[in-house]
Amino acid sequence: MSKTLEQKNTRYLLTWLPLVLLLGSVLFYVILTGHARHMQEKQLELKQQNIWQAFAAGSLPMQIKGEYSITKLSLPVNDAGKIQDTDSGYTVLSKQYELNRDHYLLTTLVTSKEYSHLLVKVFATEIFVFMLLLFSIVVINRKSSKRLWQPFYKTLQAASDYDIAKNNSFAPLAETGITEFNQLNKELTDLAAKNNKAYSNQKQFVENASHEIQTPLAIIRSKLDLLINEPGLTEGTALLLADITQANDRLSLLNKSLLLLAKIDNNQFPDQERINISQLLSSIIANYQEHYDNFPVTDLLIADNIYLTANPALIEILFSNLIKNAVVHNFPGGYIRVTLNGGEFSIENSGMSLTIEPGYLFERFRKGTSDIKTTGLGLALVKQIAQLYGLEVLYTHQNGIHHIKVTFGTGNLPNLS
């Protein structure tokens, strides 16, 4: 599972920083006790020296409780003097001295309780400081990384707003104050510019190609029109000509649809107006009913005065294609049901089951049937036009009933008036 940069950063800090601080504390403790011990020993030795000098001068008694004690030795012991801790909380230094050929053992004491108390206090303070350190490092780190990564998040937002087809302006900040981000933004801007160029070249290419194809198609068509009028046409030749004519017309139709798709891609339908789609739908259906002999049984539930703001030519293509689709892919004695209200348009029809995945139905050149009479571009056009105006198209089918729903998005709510 992925985490945000900030979470990740904090997690690393919280994993490693306490370890480092703990290690630091141990080290600090060891060094601190070492220094304290050293200081204690020095102090003890100094005290002993002072006591001995004072004793030697005869101004001190043999013993002061809690400070020192001097005992006269009958025999010198081979002892250089050592520092010991007693159970009663003192640190003790015993050493031999010689005064007037007499041997004395001087034992000096200092309390070690104070030192260990100090040690504990210093150590506790240190722990507190370290905790404070840990807390502030994490907080400062979070704050500063938030600020540092700000340009990155802006770039990210710009990248997610970028859409090669709809919004191809991509302009992250050129100057973020951070070299790496400047570079990132520059690279991304260049990349987007290259993409845009390639995309627009490709779109332009499709449009130009379709345009260029029109003329040879027109020539073939005109020659065929002349040819079918030649005297002495035999039945065999006529059948060949009929096939050629049909293929050529199919090509023309494909080309026209491709050109239309390219033009929508190239935003060549900028003008929009408020269209009464209730009227438009009724007239399209009436028109088809008149033209088709075996028009399916039609069930219309069209609310009055539903408006949509769009290009009239494109909206007509959208609805005609959907209705035609429902008619052409029907079977004799089938039905269509058209519903239009303020929020959506839906069309339902009886028909054969699909031979392709429903998800591919709106792709270019995908056909649900191998019917030679369709181009495979009708629904692609529907999708393209719907996308242009933010309409949502949903296809479902069940038991040979096909259902297409067009939901009018919030961006283009049809207004009732």
Partner 1 sequence: MKLLVIEDEISLRQSIVDYFTQSGFLCEQAGTFQEGVQKADDFQYDCIILDINLPGGNGLQLLDHLRKDKKTDGVIIISARDAVEDRIAGLDLGADDYLTKPFHLSELNARVKALIRRKYGSGSSVLEAGSLKLDLAAKTVLVHDSLVSFTKNEFELLLFLITNQNRVVSRQAIAEHLYGEQTDNLASFDFVYSHIKNLKKKLKEKGCGDMLQAVYGLGYKLVV
Q: Can you read off the two tokens belonging to residue 227?
A: 């040819």
Q: Report the distance separating Cα 344 and Cα 230, nearest Å.
A: 53
Residues 63-102, interacting with partner 1 (CB under 8 A): none
Which one of residues 253, 302, 352, 401 is an interface residue with partner 1 (CB under 8 A)?
A: 253
Residue 222 binding partner 1, by CB under 8 A: yes
Q: Report the distance separating Cα 245 and Cα 265, nearest Å.
A: 30
Q: Report the distance separating Cα 170 and Cα 189, nearest Å.
A: 6
Residue 293 binding partner 1, by CB under 8 A: yes
Contacts of 308 (CB under 8 A, 6+ apart): 274, 275, 277, 315, 389, 408, 412, 414
Q: Which of residues 141 and 248 has its CB atom nearest to partner 1 in the complex? A: 248
Which one of residues 108, 112, 155, 257 is an interface residue with partner 1 (CB under 8 A)?
A: 257
Q: Which of residues 108 and 321 has its CB atom nearest to partner 1 in the complex? A: 321
Residue 223 binding partner 1, by CB under 8 A: yes
> Contact region for partner 1 (CB under 8 A) — 46-54, 154-162, 217-225, 402-410?
217-225
Residue 246 binding partner 1, by CB under 8 A: yes
CB 296 within 8 A of CB 334: yes
Q: Which of residues 236 and 411 has its CB atom nearest to partner 1 in the complex? A: 236
Residue 241 binding partner 1, by CB under 8 A: yes
> Contact region for partner 1 (CB under 8 A) — 103-111, 128-136, 171-179, 237-245?
237-245
Which one of residues 373, 398, 399, 417 is an interface residue with partner 1 (CB under 8 A)?
A: 373
Residue 13 binding partner 1, by CB under 8 A: no
Which one of residues 17, 217, 302, 352 is an interface residue with partner 1 (CB under 8 A)?
A: 217
CB 325 within 8 A of CB 292: no
Residue 374 binding partner 1, by CB under 8 A: yes
Between helix 179-227 and helix 235-265 the angle, nearest 10°, is 160
Residue 341 binding partner 1, by CB under 8 A: no
Number of residues that this document lists for the chain:
417
Q: Are strands 344-350 and 63-64 parallel, antiparallel or unpaired?
A: unpaired
Residue 352 binding partner 1, by CB under 8 A: no
Name the strand (E) or helix (H) holding 212: helix 179-227
Cα separation values, 16 from 9, 28, 144, 204, Å: 11, 18, 19, 57
> Contact region for partner 1 (CB under 8 A) — 85-93, 181-189, 221-229, 357-365?
221-229
Residue 347: Cβ-neighbour burial (10 angstroms; 0-12, 13-18, 19+): buried
Residue 62 binding partner 1, by CB under 8 A: no
Q: Report the distance separating Cα 129 and Cα 149, nearest Å.
A: 29
Q: Report the distance separating Cα 190 and Cα 184, nearest Å.
A: 10
Q: Which of residues 303 and 313 has its CB atom nearest to partner 1 in the complex? A: 313
Binding mask 261-290 for partner 1 (x = CB under 8 A): --x----x---------------------x
Residue 382 binding partner 1, by CB under 8 A: no
Of the candidates 170, 126, 137, 124, which has an alpha carbon nearest to the alpha carbon of residue 12?
A: 137
Residue 375 binding partner 1, by CB under 8 A: yes
Q: Which of residues 128 and 331 has its CB atom nearest to partner 1 in the complex? A: 331
> Contact region for partner 1 (CB under 8 A) — 8-16, 125-133, 153-161, 376-384?
376-384
In the β-sheet with 297-302, what is the strand arrangement from edge to edge?
A: 297-302, 335-340, 344-350, 401-408, 391-398
Q: What's the min distance (Å) between Cβ of 227 and partner 1?
A: 9
How many CA atoms lie less than 13 Å away from 313 in the CB half-sphere? Answer: 8
Which one of residues 233, 301, 356, 416 is an interface residue with partner 1 (CB under 8 A)?
A: 233
Q: Report the distance separating Cα 302 and Cα 300, nearest Å.
A: 6
> Contact region for partner 1 (CB under 8 A) — 29-37, 79-87, 104-112, 252-260?
252-260
DSSP state of 370: -
> Contact region for partner 1 (CB under 8 A) — 53-61, 159-167, 178-186, 234-242?
234-242
Task: List residues binding partner 1 (CB under 8 A).
Answer: 211, 214-215, 217-226, 228-229, 233, 235, 238-239, 241-242, 245-246, 249-250, 252-253, 256-257, 259, 263, 268, 290-293, 313, 317, 320-321, 324, 328, 372-375, 377-378, 381
